[in-house]
Structure 1
Amino acid sequence: MPKLGILGHGSMADYVVRALDRSDWQVSHCIARVGREEAARKCMPREICVASDVRDWSSMPDLVIDCAGHAGLVAHAPDVLRNGTPVITASIGALADDDVGTMLAQAARAGDSRLHLASGAIGALDALRAAAAGGLDAVRYIGRKPPAGWRGTDAEKMADLDRLEEPITHFEGTARQAALRYPKNANVAASVALAGLGFDATRVSLIADPGFQGNMHQITAEGAFGHFEFTITGHSLPDTPRTSALAAMSMLAAVTGYDTPVTF
């Protein structure tokens, strides 16, 4: 039975662990913040190896998934990759920092491993990658969430989110700027950028909308292939307004499809 390690033990990690309980994967390792190790153990369905640093794991799993956010990816993924263990991450916005991207790529090469990017809360990335191969002229991403989904971000500097009565566009800029300013909210913008025109040529708008339920992600693209628009409206995980349920599902799909003989 292949063994799985998890960076983090929040809502996304909990979703994946519960869904894998009767699968061929055994959740065997977990990374928690210092002082949160016991809380992490209580989240797991069975006894596993919990530590605050992957170098303290007594052994290495066959695969590691990152559910810890940008800081967790930066702190722990390089050691995992250098060890030869592949990593799947949903913290794609971290790659907007070129130094982080270079560090992770070098670690993967050193360990002859690979960093896999989960599709997260968005779809149509396959079409966008294909369009980029033939030549893209423009790509725009629009993210729309209810005000609660933007709490704890720069959106609070633009408006009182608790009293917002009409939609407000609180960010306009590049995907790189969005990913760096909204590390917990703009991973989709980063995914769109990496699949298409890159961080600096992808335009992004982020909207807080008091009349909207769910999280809406919209991509528009034009190029040699023609024109496409893709829109998806998804639910958040019940206890985490900033985390898309589909992002957690994409991580689960990446794990269950990892070692299958035929896969997308």
Structure 2
Amino acid sequence: MGKRTLAIVGCGKLAQIIVDALNNGLLPDYKLIGTYSRTFEKAERLADYINRAETVHTCTASKSLDELFTLNPDYILETASPAAMRELAIPALEHGSSIVTLSIGAFADTDFYESVKEAARTHNTRVHLVPGAIGGFDVLRTVALMSKSSATFATEKGPNSLKNTEVYDEGLQNEKRTVLKGNAVEAIELFPTKVNVAVAAALASVGPEEIGVSITSTPDFVGDRHRIEMKNDQVDAIIDIYSRKSDIAGWSVVNTLRNITSPIAF
């Protein structure tokens, strides 16, 4: 079988991590044939980066999603935002492209989730939900299958990461404060681009409306700490991950792609 073809939607820092991994031989089963960004120059820059290193095939920067779909990639990697995922998901699946996405927050909308699932089933495509800055999907899903369970998701962030949201005020620079306590649906409504991981944990466990979500702002805190706890009558599972920067999200896409084609899957 020849190499699987890839296209990327969202051409920022995380996309660059994936492309660097590709150029460094960590994704030998794939080739990147297309890029798209709302800012065309970013898509063009990433495509040029590939084309300077690649002599066998060409990577094309697209000016629209429709133009990207005409390339017929096997997989579209979405590293942009939940809004971008909502726009591209069903058309991409209908065009025959499977999706590897970081913007799992889009699936807090149950109707959208069901529509995407039906489109993938109808068109024999798949959607791969990437863990991003967390992990343990296998444990969460296993515990959920065993018996009725409960789950909580707690995030600690620095106040600067909450700027330009409605919960931010200057007092957060000097005072530790819980700025949200609710469920994953409420969290993604309040922070559309900042809590994809909470929705991911919810989908893997008890669902966006059932998981308890809290977000705490801590002065001078750098990075993100995510703690997931899931319990049933037999198991108490805790997943606790700290990441200083967002790079782990890009690398989780690389790992997902490797797992898709590996003869032994973890």
| TM-score of the two chains, using structure 2 as the length reference | 0.89
In structure 1, which of residues 20, 23, 32 is the aligned counterpart of residue 22 of structure 2?
20
1:46 aligns with 2:56: no
Q: In structure 2, which of residues 179, 183, 190 is the aligned counterpart of residue 170 of structure 1?
A: 179
Distance 1:252 1:60, change over 3 A: same
1:160 matched to 2:157? The reply is no
CA contact (8 A) 1:54 1:79 kept: no
**Cα distance in 2 between the residues matched to 1:263 and 1:229:** 23
Residue from 143, 162, 185 that aligns with 1:131: 143
Of all paired residues, the percent bearing the same amino acid is: 27
Residue 84 in structure 1 maps to residue 87 in structure 2: no
Letter in structure 1 aligned against 2:80: A
What is the aligned partner in structure 2 of residue 229 from structure 1? 238
* AA matched with 1:231: D
Q: What aligned pairs does 1:102-121 form with structure 2 within 5 A after superposition?
A: 102-121=114-133
1:240 is matched with none
State the Cα deviation string for residues 151-199 of structure 1 (Å, max 9, x = none). 222322xx226x6112111101011111222121111110111111111
What code does the residue aligned with 1:46 have? I
Query: What is the Cα deviation at residue 52 of structure 1?
Result: 3.4
- CA distance, structure 2, for counterparts of residue 38 and residue 221 of structure 1: 44
1:2-59 per-residue CA deviation (whole Å, 9 max, x = no partner) reads 22100110111111111211332221111221xx213321133134222233321342
User: Which residue does 1:146 correspond to in 2?
Assistant: 158
- Find the aligned partners of 2:88 and 2:204 in 1 and give their Cα distance: 25
Q: Distance in 2 between matches of 1:108 and 1:193?
A: 21
- 1:43-82 alignment runs, 5 A limit: 43-44=46-47, 45-47=49-51, 48-57=59-68, 58-82=70-94
Which residue matches 1:246?
248
Which consecutive unaligned segments of at least 5 residues does structure 1 have? 237-243
Q: Distance in 2 between matches of 1:200 and 1:74?
A: 19
Question: Which aligned runs of 4 or more in structure 1 are off by greater than 3 angstroms?
Answer: none
Q: Secondary structure at the match of 1:55?
A: helix
Name the amino acid aligned to 1:67.
T
Distance 1:258 1:186 in 2: 25
Provide the rounded CA distance (Å) in 1 between the counterparts of 2:158 and 2:131.
22
Q: Cα RMSD over matched residues?
A: 1.7
Q: Report the alpha carbon displacement of residue 84 of structure 1 after superposing the two structures with TM.
A: 1.7
Contact map agreement 1:89 1:118 (CA 8 A) in 2: yes
- Alpha-carbon separation, structure 2, partners of 1:202 and 1:195: 10
Partner of 2:221: 212
Matches within 5 A, 1:183-194: 183-194=192-203
Q: Structure 1 residues 146, 37: closer, same or farther in 2, change over 3 A? A: same
3-state DSSP of counterpart to 1:224: coil
Q: Which runs of 5+ in 2 are unaligned?
A: 52-58
TM-score normalized by structure 1?
0.89
Residue pair 1:235, 1:246 contacting (<8 A) in 2 also? no
> Is this contact kept in 1: 2:147–2:232, CA < 8 A?
yes
